[in-house]
């Protein structure tokens, strides 16, 4: 008879193959694990020799994470995907994996702000040179390349000023120089832009946004081509990178409804953007699907749709107090960061991310258009604009 304390340790494992054990839920279960058990010594030994193809430890992730990663690989049309704890970590880890001391990194001027901070505070400290190129770049990327350039990081469109890059033109030049290209594809999602069809090597998502879709998940993903696999896989192993398993579950679930949610975000945002263009206080609406957008033709050529976040620039006579009245006057828009969720959100400020942007120093308002009825949203913006 074993002691209760031993019994309690071994309780709960049925070990049988009854119907209960073979319960197949339509969605994968969530595993909570640090330790993963091997069947026998042979498996343990194989794991020690790097010859075991199963999960060896919690940092390998779990079947839930693999299911999400497989879905991302299929949707993106890449070779291999890995989930990361956030979109930012997906970007910064990728940069660490593909750059070395002495390399030069080119970053899109409209890049998600914290990436700049990472480049300045960490990459440069480790001897990587970083410079920025205009967010509407095309074949003129050539002008920014140096003999040390190893990677070009694109973000198309940028998530504040919404410039579009001519990705095929950039990729063509990059390939001539043997330079890798990576893109932050969050705005378009795998449904509206297909980086690998344009020859991009690495596609990155903040899954936090549209893919999860409910503002309750932080997650990132990176998908790479076969040619980049070994280097990327080495990075993942070195960092023992893994993602929260519940987030992977929710992201996989989010993927199932992505298309219908995006259709609604797209049509409401476009309707609101077109209407804002007619408003007296608005100087310019920055939305790639508007014919007035400077890179609209490229968006039309390369994208399969538009998501639901865009900005507008106020006429110069409006000051900070006016912007505050507008933001505080909105009833249906939450004031908060991030986007891609069901609820409409607003952020605003004097644009200062890049002094080579033509919007530098201008008061801008960014709307994440959620899933509310668009007529209600329009009415809300109208009454808030009246407070200007």
Ligand X SMILES: Cc1ncc(COP(=O)(O)O)c(C=O)c1O
What's the token pair of residue 37? 């058990």
Return the number of the residue (95 or 145) whose C-beta is nearest ligand X: 95
Phi, psi of 271, deg, nearest 5: -60, -45
* Residue 347: strand, helix, or coil: strand
Q: Is 338 in the site for ligand X (CB under 6 A)?
A: yes
What's the token pair of residue 345? 């959100």
For the CA atoms of 343, 65, 74, 154, the dihedral, rounded to the nearest 10 degrees, stands at 60
Return the number of the residue (94 or 149) whose C-beta is nearest ligand X: 94
Q: Is 215 in the site for ligand X (CB under 6 A)?
A: no
Q: Is 86 in the site for ligand X (CB under 6 A)?
A: yes
Q: State the nearest-atom distance from the C-beta of 121 to ligand X, in Å.
A: 16
CA–CA separation, 206 and 87 (whole Å): 4
Q: Is 186 in the site for ligand X (CB under 6 A)?
A: yes
Q: State the nearest-atom distance from the C-beta of 255 to ligand X, in Å.
A: 16
Q: In this chain, which of 61, 87, 134, 308 binds ligand X, going by CB under 6 A?
A: 87
* Closest to 338 in 3D by CA, of 234, 218, 223, 247: 218
* Closest to 388 in 3D by CA, of 280, 278, 254, 307: 280
Q: Is 112 in the site for ligand X (CB under 6 A)?
A: yes
* Residue 177: strand, helix, or coil: helix
Q: Sheet of 149-155: strands edge to edge?
A: 80-84, 220-224, 202-206, 180-184, 149-155, 104-108, 129-133
Q: Is 184 in the site for ligand X (CB under 6 A)?
A: yes
Q: State the nearest-atom distance from the C-beta of 67 to ligand X, in Å.
A: 20
Residue nearest to ligand X (CB): 87
Q: State the nearest-atom distance from the C-beta of 142 to ligand X, in Å.
A: 25
> Exposed (0-12), middle (13-18) or buried (19+): which is 309, by Cβ within 10 Å?
buried
Q: Is 134 in the site for ligand X (CB under 6 A)?
A: no
* Closest to 154 in 3D by CA, of 128, 193, 125, 120: 193
Of 83-91, 244-252, 319-327, 366-374, which part binds ligand X (CB under 6 A)?
83-91
Phi, psi of 112, deg, nearest 5: -50, 125
CA–CA separation, 170 and 175 (whole Å): 9
* Residue 334: strand, helix, or coil: strand
Return the number of the residue (217 or 224) whose C-beta is nearest ligand X: 217
Q: State the nearest-atom distance from the C-beta of 322 to ligand X, in Å.
A: 26
What's the token pair of residue 352? 């200062």
Q: In this chain, which of 64, 81, 136, 159 binds ligand X, going by CB under 6 A?
A: 159
Of 51-59, 80-88, 276-284, 358-366, which part binds ligand X (CB under 6 A)?
80-88
Q: State the nearest-atom distance from the C-beta of 379 to ligand X, in Å.
A: 28
CA–CA separation, 151 and 170 (whole Å): 12
Contact present, 204 and 184 (Cβ < 8 Å): yes
Number of residues that bind ligand X (CB under 6 A): 13
Q: Is 347 in the site for ligand X (CB under 6 A)?
A: no
Q: Is 220 in the site for ligand X (CB under 6 A)?
A: yes
Q: Is 161 in the site for ligand X (CB under 6 A)?
A: no
Q: In this chain, which of 72, 83, 88, 388 binds ligand X, going by CB under 6 A?
A: 88
Q: State the nearest-atom distance from the C-beta of 334 to ligand X, in Å.
A: 15
Return the number of the residue (179 or 243) whose C-beta is nearest ligand X: 243
Q: State the nearest-atom distance from the C-beta of 158 to ligand X, in Å.
A: 8
Q: Is 368 in the site for ligand X (CB under 6 A)?
A: no
CA–CA separation, 179 and 175 (whole Å): 6
Q: State the nearest-atom distance from the C-beta of 157 to ligand X, in Å.
A: 9
Q: State the nearest-atom distance from the C-beta of 308 to ligand X, in Å.
A: 13
Q: In this chain, which of 218, 255, 258, 323 binds ligand X, going by CB under 6 A?
A: 218
- Where would I find the H helices in the chain? 4-9, 41-48, 63-76, 87-98, 113-118, 167-177, 189-192, 226-239, 245-256, 258-276, 296-302, 320-329, 374-386
Q: Is 221 in the site for ligand X (CB under 6 A)?
A: no
Kindly list the residues in this chain that would bind ligand X in the complex (CB under 6 A): 86-88, 112, 155, 159, 184, 186, 206, 208, 218, 220, 338
């Amino acid at each position: 008879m074993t002691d209760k304390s031993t019994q309690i340790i071994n309780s709960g494992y049925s070990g049988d193959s009854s119907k209960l054990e073979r319960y197949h839920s339509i969605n994968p279960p969530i595993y909570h694990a640090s330790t993963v058990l091997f069947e026998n010594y042979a498996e343990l030994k194989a794991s020690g020799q790097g010859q075991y193809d199963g999960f060896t430890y919690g940092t390998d992730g779990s079947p839930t994470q693999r299911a999400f990663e497989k879905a991302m690989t299929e949707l993106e049309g890449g070779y291999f995907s890995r989930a990361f704890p956030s979109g930012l970590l997906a970007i910064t880890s990728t940069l660490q994996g593909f750059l070395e001391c002495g390399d030069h990194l080119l970053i899109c001027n409209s890049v998600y702000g914290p990436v700049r901070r990472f480049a300045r505070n960490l990459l440069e400290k480790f001897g990587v040179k970083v410079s920025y190129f205009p967010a509407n770049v095309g074949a003129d990327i050539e002008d920014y390349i140096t003999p040390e350039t190893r990677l070009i990081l694109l973000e198309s469109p940028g998530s504040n000023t919404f410039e579009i890059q001519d990705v095929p033109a950039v990729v063509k030049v990059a390939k001539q120089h043997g330079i890798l290209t990576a893109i932050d594809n969050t705005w378009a999602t795998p449904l509206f832009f297909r980086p690998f069809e344009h020859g991009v090597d690495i596609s990155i998502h903040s899954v936090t946004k549209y893919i999860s879709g409910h503002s309750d998940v932080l997650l990132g993903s990176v998908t790479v081509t076969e040619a980049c696999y070994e280097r990327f896989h080495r990075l993942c192993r070195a960092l023992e990178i893994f993602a929260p398993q519940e987030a992977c579950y929710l992201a996989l679930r989010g993927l199932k409804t992505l298309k219908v949610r995006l259709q609604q975000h797209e049509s409401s945002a476009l309707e609101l953007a077109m209407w804002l263009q007619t408003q007296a206080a608005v100087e310019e609406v920055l939305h790639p699907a508007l014919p007035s957008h400077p890179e609209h033709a490229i968006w039309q050529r390369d994208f399969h749709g538009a998501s639901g976040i865009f900005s507008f620039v106020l006429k110069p006579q409006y000051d900070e107090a006016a912007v505050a009245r507008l933001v505080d006057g909105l009833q249906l828009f939450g004031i908060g960061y991030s986007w891609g969720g069901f609820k409409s959100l607003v952020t605003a400020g004097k644009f200062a991310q890049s002094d080579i942007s033509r919007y530098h120093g201008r008061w801008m308002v960014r709307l994440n258009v959620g899933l509310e009825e668009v007529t209600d949203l329009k009415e809300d913006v109208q009454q808030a604009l009246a407070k200007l």
